[in-house]
Structure 1
């Protein structure tokens, strides 16, 4: 089974599916949804089979495939995964079908046909698989840039009122970072030519190069800036609150749950192994950015009135913990950082999905427009609570294990940074629980107010009528939504329960028993630490 080209299939199946869905005739939106769901489930099955074929005690990179691509430049279409990439592919495989199911009706409310939304979604899945599976640096760069296109159109065509601004800002930030990285990719090729006699982009060959420390610093910065923007780290973060809040809910889930992980994945896959001297040199600077991001983003999250924007800021804070775990250079902390990538995608994915379900019912993204929802939609409130508790890393949820590993692995090496980072845990409890309390409990407000007064008050100035089935992304944020009434504010239906149930099961299951993921992650982290020269690492 290990000889089967799983990685090529995981790229080809959604890419071909995107073309098929886009080519469906007008009016076949239901068929487009069914085909997209079927293809995303097939990709999930391929990821699960690939995981079963992966030998934890075997070679560092497995399931490898290499096809001649640009021989004149020494570049191949080379794919392979270690444990770090494999768990992120599992995250992609799990989230995409749930995004399809959660967007079943939301995509219908967009200005473009639903089949266009789902075609872009499948193409995005193919690009995400490619960026995690590439073992050729030039191929990685191509996927890194190409995945911007489907996300740009998902935000720009199906997002909220400021979708064009958010889409352009997302694209420009990411494009600039990618162009800076391209300069370093070319620099690596030049160095490999001088040392090997011929240029190459193969990761295994590049990590064997003996690069001058001063040259390393320049090349490191090119990769680091691109990955810091993608992650994002403060001060490169300003695009995420706009993009996360204006994207459709499905786009927000994949943007924050998966695409942003490309940045932290890039730190581990490329910055540390290829530029070990530069990584050690810049580590204190990165740690300062990480801790500042944890605290600064958490404080900003507490002041948000827009639920989607609040969740976006929480993710910036969480990425600070991931960067802290990577750049303290201990196996324990780096293992926790990789596990944090997966657990953050699950917890924040659920939080965005539940927020989207709330917005689709209330017609507003403003926290102040909600109150007393738990009394009328207890299942929705329960899912919201579990997602919030996982986001603040409550013991027993999946995020706690990864956050604990990061902190316990960081403290012996960087105690000051670690102590400062723990303040972010307190702030996380505040912004999550305050949002939950204000929306789910207390007296009815905004969208439920008409049931208290027995009437249907007129909308406030600048508000927008909340129509049944309206897109969560397009709900007004400038004024309270008009009252809807309990007869319309329903609890989760069977489709919505089927969406949230797997994520809740993963949050609880990985919170109690994370060992299967740790078994996949740890050997790859040990090998990465070996490239860096950290004691206990193994270069294999």
Structure 2
């Protein structure tokens, strides 16, 4: 079942890339929607309970290296898998339009399938292969369909100037992530040598050197300050679906890796780097909030905000506690849903006004496009952590994890980080309130491009609003998976 869940979108994506000249854009998007819907359903059905590895597949792949096609769903990976498939599905729905390129749909499917492969991998080499497999397709998504404020967000009318900007941003993204991957690969080799195995469930510890390399590799993907500089430009130029996948799925490859490889698999040496990780996390929270406050481009604002939200997740991971585990998973999922809604809304605005500049979009959206404005405001207040919405619990659980100190941080370290994180909460509220005032409120100035949400846009928005509300009022749906310690990094969780 899990092989089909990964293979279906991957096979359909490759097929669309090969037949891109012969398949209508709308048909390609519907085909991609069907493939991702099948993947989401299968991943939901594969779950057998938190005490086992669900849907485990373990077949020899490269016998001489001890590499296996080892896939499975753990209590940590299941929420990431569902979120990744769900966002991939919505990206395909978003592309249901006549001018969509079948190649873009194919790349979205390959990226989604590769990301799901990371979350499902239980073999280190297989993990790394999937980790890298999504990089080149994402380069093409940004470089070929990317845009600046002078071209539509779907890239249908690419201009030479915007194309150059997009290629520069895509190349910077690729160079940063490949460099991080090189560090990750060296760390994995050291771990495999020390443990004598590539199976994640069998590895109980490794050296500090390997842990540092692996953490640095994931820090680029997360991203942590100062390894974040690829992110704003990549988001600013990427098409809407590229931004959603980057923020909702790609960043989670980093946090998931820190959860499983960086911490649970190497709990002992991870304590040596945890204080530095917590420091980098809270630095990102405060610094990104200050950067957000001076942004005019809405997509860049959302990109910088992602750095701050990932800082909360990293702070939770660094505590190495049970509540920290729950906070990291919940925060990652909540961020994927809320930021996905923000980027879809920003994409809808850019499609209308040809720009993501808040100055160009203009004020008074409540009076000009009420449903578009309401969707944006809901996403913004969810992102700033309004109680009753998913973003609230992600931040609150991370703050609680720091307050309770955890397993590896000292009280001065944890509480200092907590103080900066609380400051970050206030700053986050400030810059999102500013964005709401600049866009939704004020005297409406009618624009010829003003229009309400279309059917496709409304379906995508509603599909994201529902889980944001459900997780906001019933966080136990997700937190309940971690009511008891979950030994992800040891074979004890196997059937």
Task: Identify whether the pair has TM-score above 0.5, normalized to the shorter chain.
Answer: yes
Query: Mind listing any 5+ residue stretches in structure 1 that lack a counterpart?
Result: 1-5, 194-199, 449-483, 532-537
**1:114 and 2:108 aligned:** no
Alpha-carbon shift at residue 205 of structure 1 (Å): 2.2
**1:44 and 2:2 aligned:** no
Which secondary structure does the structure 2 equivalent of 1:166 belong to?
helix
Contact 2:25–2:96 (CA under 8 A) maintained in structure 1? no
Alpha-carbon shift at residue 217 of structure 1 (Å): 1.2
| Aligned partner of 2:335 among 344, 351, 357 | 344
2-side partners of 1:150 and 1:527: how far apart? 34
| Aligned partner of 1:20 among 15, 24, 28 | 15
Alpha-carbon shift at residue 526 of structure 1 (Å): 3.3
Contact 1:22–1:119 (CA under 8 A) maintained in structure 2? yes
* Residues 413-445 of structure 1: CA deviation (Å, up to 9, x unaligned): 122211220111111111111112101221345
Structure 2 residue aligned with 1:514:
475
1-side partners of 2:235 and 2:166: how far apart? 10
Alpha-carbon shift at residue 254 of structure 1 (Å): 0.9
2-side partners of 1:257 and 1:274: how far apart? 24
Contact 1:21–1:35 (CA under 8 A) maintained in structure 2? no
2-side partners of 1:322 and 1:350: how far apart? 19
Alpha-carbon shift at residue 63 of structure 1 (Å): 1.4
Alpha-carbon shift at residue 27 of structure 1 (Å): 5.7
Counterparts in 2 of 1:219 and 1:442: CA distance versus 1, 3 Å: same
Structure 2 residue aligned with 1:451:
none
**1:103 and 2:95 aligned:** yes
Paired residues for 1:18-417 under 5 Å: 18-24=13-19, 25-26=21-22, 28-51=24-47, 54-56=48-50, 58-59=51-52, 61-105=53-97, 108=99, 114-160=101-147, 161=162, 162-193=165-196, 200-207=197-204, 211=206, 216-369=207-360, 370-413=362-405, 414-417=414-417
- Structure showing greater Rg: 1
Contact 1:287–1:417 (CA under 8 A) maintained in structure 2? yes
Which secondary structure does the structure 1 equivalent of 2:71 belong to?
strand
* Residues 335-361 of structure 1: CA deviation (Å, up to 9, x unaligned): 111101001000010011011111111
* Residues 264-286 of structure 1: CA deviation (Å, up to 9, x unaligned): 11111011133223211111111
Contact 1:399–1:511 (CA under 8 A) maintained in structure 2? yes
2-side partners of 1:27 and 1:409: how far apart? 50
Query: Mind listing any 5+ residue stretches in structure 2 that lack a counterpart?
Result: 148-161, 406-413
Contact 2:30–2:92 (CA under 8 A) maintained in structure 1? no
Which secondary structure does the structure 1 equivalent of 2:57 belong to?
strand
Structure 1 residue aligned with 2:150:
none
TM-score under structure 2 length normalisation: 0.91
Aligned length: 467
TM-score under structure 1 length normalisation: 0.83
Alpha-carbon shift at residue 522 of structure 1 (Å): 4.5
Measured on the aligned residues, the alpha-carbon RMSD in Å equals 1.7
2-side partners of 1:261 and 1:33: how far apart? 24
2-side partners of 1:350 and 1:144: how far apart? 25
Alpha-carbon shift at residue 514 of structure 1 (Å): 1.8
* Residues 279-336 of structure 1: CA deviation (Å, up to 9, x unaligned): 1111111111111110001100111111100000000000100000010122112211
Alpha-carbon shift at residue 23 of structure 1 (Å): 3.3
Paired residues for 1:459-498 under 5 Å: 484-485=447-448, 488-498=449-459
Alpha-carbon shift at residue 19 of structure 1 (Å): 2.2
